Copies of this chain bind each other. A is one copy, B any other.
């Protein structure tokens, strides 16, 4: 039976092993003392907790470049997501297959949501159409929305919205880039250490961490 110790996992993830054990303990006691964690069982338990073992039908609204990119993105299926439908307002798109799935017209939105029991919607429309699409999705029963349009959506209580701003990551890189340049001509401005930049781990390639808490766009 293949196993891993918290120590090994912690080293790989660049975190403290005690923290990792404590985090796992919230999911239950899945480890064996003196041995470690059964890899397969652990993966299953974490997958289950994260909802990866369920099948999540999603609809993508707005099949432009971004919508098409999302439809083609392979990472969805492996994470338990199933693209139930692609929806676009352009009648010329209707019926045309993208990533093997025929695009349907916005008129069908409500029936698609209902018939497929969709609770997660992805908005990849232009900014102007986003709120309207959002309202229709919510009215049809969607309770989670992933928004790629550059607008803050307003939704009723009980509906989750996550906004993805593709330029924010670039901005963070530029921020670091600027600091790199600044260090060469170092110590030009005396004090003002600017919200201490903490580096989590050497292999940190993710969002979160290293971003100032308050910094409006």
List chain A positions with a Cβ less than 8 A from chain B.
Answer: 9, 13, 15, 19-20, 23, 26-28, 46, 49-52, 54, 56, 58, 64-66, 68-70, 72-76, 79-81, 119-120, 122, 143-147, 150, 152-153, 158, 160-167, 169-178, 180, 192-195, 203, 205-208, 211-216
Contact = CB atoms under 8 A, between A and B. Distances in A.
B26 A192 contact: yes
Contacts of A215: 46, 50
A174 B76 contact: no
Given A19-B214, A193-B26, A214-B13, A207 B176 contact: no
10 contacts: A27-B194, A50-B175, A51-B177, A66-B66, A120-B174, A143-B177, A147-B205, A152-B205, A160-B173, A163-B205
A34 B207 CA distance: 38
Q: Is the interface of A mostly helix, strand, loop or mixed?
A: mixed
Given A23-B214, A215-B46, A216-B46, A144 B195 contact: no
A26 B193 CA distance: 7
Contacts of A147: 205
Contacts of A152: 203, 205
Given A26-B194, A144-B176, A192-B27, A206 B163 contact: yes
